Amino acid sequence: MAFERGHYTSYSACGIPYFIGKDVADATTLIARTPEQFRDNQGIDARIGHEVLEINLHRRAVLVRELPTGREIWEEFDQLMIATGATPTRPPLPGIEAQGIHGVQTLDDGLALRAVLERERPGRAVVVGAGYIGLELAEALSAWGVQITVIGRPPAPLPGLDPDMGALIASAMEGFGMDVRMEETVTGFDTHNGQVAAVVTDQATIPTDLVILGLGVAPNTALAAQAGIPLGSSGAVAVDRRLRTGIEGVWAGGDCVEKFHRVSRRHVTLPLGTHANKEGRTAGINLGGGYATFPGVLGTAVTKICDVEVGRTGLGESEAQAAGFDPITAVVDSTTRAGYYPGAKPIRTKLIAERGTGRLLGAQIVGEEGAAKRIDVLSVALWHETPVEELLNIDLSYAPPFSPVWDPVLIAARKAWQAVEADRSRTEPG
């Protein structure tokens, strides 16, 4: 499958890469609500510039430092919500503290990086890490005319994809002039007068003017753990379906808590904003005296890298095997519109089903415009434990500007069902 190179603008669903995109001038567009709006519209005292240092469960209070003044105060609580998010991974490698090495998590991080781009106009940048944020930042930097190298340890970009699907992302990025180096490990950074000069890997030394760290995140559980709030098997804060921790009156949600995966039936860490927002709503209803539950996750996500759209949901092949399933797969190439209609673009759809039962376990999509959001159909099917045999007959809409008469989702379901049936025929006695 080949993707044609065309004009593109860096826009991302993740706020910071969006802001770093060259065509976006105003950082205030990333601020959903100000503290004043919270106060005036909802009666919420939202205090920024404050750091919680300690949770004292016996005292039922938190120790807070006012950052502008350094003053520390105790704030008592009847109910406590912990939403400390996740902490970016920053490995203790030689040279990691050099100037020019940026982690990007907050709006201030984005402002600092954009200031560097505007002031210094770097010619080369290395992005360490090939996950969602790393790749979106690579695209944003490329729009500034920076020569990009992406380094990752997995076989292909986007670890949430199977390697055969991730390879399409690497190919597309290379088509946009990026150097994609997978199965390579960063071992340190060369510096000159305190400034990063090169990234050192187990295979090469790569000169650079700028380094972006996109090595993923870990649940930020330090405060909870120090207070004695129980953590789960995944390492994140353990919560029930109502978002209650193991401590009466203490709730938690977002990237710091573990989630129940509806397919693997295991507790996992999945730092996605969609989950965090839903968990916040659930916990808020319960904190206010109502009743709500959060039923779990599938890990559904989409992104855009250059002109390539990506979607995934559920389990990949190796994830399905690790969860105890015996997976069978189907991969189909199709087009986003009827082939004869102007603007039809390539799309590859992969389904992972359970051998024998044909139950859908996961799905992945890589294609051009009109591809990624098809993953939502598969997410709904997965949520309801739909077998691929039922999925292939779902009544999806058709018109040439939007789809072939057999939508790529239905073609993939049909091929998966055929694979399940063929496997049954081979294994049935007599």
Please give the positions annotated as active site.
14
Between strands 147-152 and 124-128, the pairing is parallel
Indicate the DSSP class of residue 311.
E
Q: In what order do the strands lie in the sheet with 346-354?
A: 301-305, 308-314, 360-367, 346-354, 327-335
Instruction: Say if residues 139 and 10 touch (Cβ distance below 8 Å).
Output: yes
Between strands 217-219 and 86-88, the pairing is antiparallel
CA separation for the pair 62, 54 (Å, rounded): 6
Residue type, 130: A
| 430 three-state secondary structure | coil
Indicate the DSSP class of residue 197.
E
CA 250 to chain centre: 27
> Mutual orientation of helices 163-175 and 132-142 as an angle, nearest 10°?
10
Instruction: Say if residues 155 and 67 touch (Cβ distance below 8 Å).
Output: no
